[in-house]
Amino acid sequence: MILSEKGTLLPPPRAAAGQSRWRSVGVLIIHAIAFAVVLRTSFELYQRLTAGEDPSASVAKCPQVEPLVPSQKSPALSGMEDYLQSDKFRDETVKRMAGAIRIPTQSYDDLGPVGEDSRWDTMYDFADYLKSTFPHVHSVLALEKVNTHGLLYTWKGTDASLRPTVFMAHQDVVPVAESTIDQWTHPPYSGHYDGKYIWGRGASDCKNNLIGILEAVELLIDAGFKPKRTVVLSFGFDEEISGRQGAGHLAQVLINRYGKDGAAVIIDEGGGIAESWGSTFALPGVAEKGYIDVDIIVRMPGGHSSIPPAHSGIGVASELVTLIEAHPYEPRFHAENPYLGLLECGNAYSPKFPSSLKKNLPWKESPCPAKKDKLALEAAKQGDATKYLFTTSLAVDVITGGIKSNALPERTRVLVNHRVNIGEKTSEVQAKIVQLAHRVAAKHNLTVQAFSDEPEVPSSIRLSSNSSLSLEPAPVTPTSVDGVTPFRVLSGTTRALYGESLLMGPALMTGNTDTRYYWDLTRHIFRYGPGYDPEQGFSLEGIHTVNEKVSVVAHTAGVQWYSLFIRNMDEADLA
């Protein structure tokens, strides 16, 4: 109906017969589409409800906390906050970072003991550089040198009843291969600054964290901040070669000093802030996969290669390698895997969360180990970087055998590296490789020596692993935000710095950090690189390879984060 000029209702103009019919058909189509949408939505809702999932369940499983800003204020602290955002600070921290990068603190796999191998001596230069660069830190904090090069700083708090906040980083970097130097855009130990990035080995792994922590402490001291809660800085020097001489000694000092679960929280290098499914997530690592190297030694009779057997030792070893690679581990979730929590976060908040994953949530562990994990299989389709967050990996990394072109190899060695899935054990890796070795051994009339201390024997396949290097998956850090918890403080600090559009999600490390030695010091271990540059995003580009660099925006944001976190932990109502 329409209104006449006098305000009375008039009937609509009559359409032609053909127009009327088409209009009726159109209305029917629209109604049919609307009905189908409603029916489908209702059916999906019914499926979710009958599966036991409330539509708000994912939100409940991924709560986001309010930004947390320190309540303690002073003109000096406000001035510090302004300075951290200034061009002056940017320029000064660039110089300090560049100076740290210029000291080539390389750690090599074949380094001898500290004090015996002169290649460790570069660590003296690095310690001297830190002392001259951060005078407040070295005048206020107590510095202990553990196993010569481990740097342990203690900023004693006024309340001894509060467990300390521990920050970790490592001084060493992976070596730069001589053959790759000409591939670097800027020389690897130049600390070159191009106006956006600082270039060089260690720029993002992890001298940025080490310098960032020291920058924050230096500025807090200068601003007159005196902590109630003790702050500990623990800097190892051989993380890149397993950390036994550095973190292995530092952790023991701290455990002896503060006792089991004696620290409130540990922050070490690790996950960062990244885009995922149309959302931006901060992804602190709350777990690490396990680790085991399996050494395979194939012993076969030697002889002249002009009269070879059907299969030489190298051939038999290759057959076993092929069999191992043909039986990879299947993607599988276990209830403690934190990536399940991240999936719930994506389901709750991310506009581009895949429907193929959504329909497999909530996840329920199958009582039958042989049954395939549908959610894990779907999630694995996102790529290997995702798949290996819930899959034991295997990589054949080393093979040696034979000494001469006319002599049959008597001893062939293969090393297979495994990173063990959360919820699984290194013993499961051993059992699987033993089974495969027996298949090859039976075919070639060889004996199998499986993970024993027996010496090698002729005509055998010997399996072994270095127990001092093997590692079970790390204990999973609690991520509850009920009440005042370390994860709540970490989350609130991050959202205070970057805004409430940033989401917090749990993540895990496929590699291992120095925190492997600190498990007894606290349950609250976060492997987290808090610096973030929205233009760059999270990138592993250059780490352990050519053109390592760090965004100055990300680096300065990291310093801000460390300073906020120290203050927030100081005010947190937890023991």
What three-state secondary structure class fits 288?
A: strand
Angle at 496 between CA 494 and CA 497, to 5 degrees: 65
172 is catalytic: yes
The answer to whether the beta carbons of residues 284 and 271 sit under 8 Å apart is yes
- Those residues whose C-beta lies under 8 Å from the C-beta of residue 366, and which sit 6 or more positions away, are 373
DSSP 8-state symbol, 362: S
CA–CA distance, 185 with 545 (Å, rounded to integer): 12
Whole-angstrom CA distances from 79 to 67, 73, 86, 147, 321 are: 21, 10, 11, 39, 62
User: What is the per-residue burial (b if ≥16 Cβ within 10 Å, else e) of 14-27?
Assistant: eeeeeeeeeeeeee
Q: How many CB atoms lie within 10 A of CB 133?
A: 17
Q: Which of 506, 504, 483, 486 is nearest to 494 (CA)?
A: 504
Binding positions for Zn(2+): 170, 205, 240, 268, 544
Q: How far apart are the first and last CA of the chain?
A: 72
Active-site pick, 218, 238, 239, 533: 239
Active-site pick, 172, 288, 548, 570: 172
User: What is the per-residue burial (b if ≥16 Cβ within 10 Å, else e) of 193-229?
Assistant: beeebbbbbbbbbbbbbbbbbbbbbbbbbebebebeb
Please give the distance of CA 569 from its chain centroid, rounded to a whole number: 23
**Phi then psi dihedrals of residue 432, to 5 deg:** -65, -45
DSSP 8-state symbol, 344: H
The answer to whether the beta carbons of residues 375 and 361 sit under 8 Å apart is yes
Binding positions: 170, 205, 240, 268, 544
The answer to whether the beta carbons of residues 500 and 282 sit under 8 Å apart is no
The answer to whether the beta carbons of residues 419 and 516 sit under 8 Å apart is no
Could you check whether the bond before residue 206 is cis, i.e. omega within 30 degrees of 0?
yes
261 is catalytic: no
Q: How many CB atoms lie within 10 A of CB 291?
A: 21
DSSP 187-202: -TTS--B-SSEEESTT
Active site residues: 172, 239
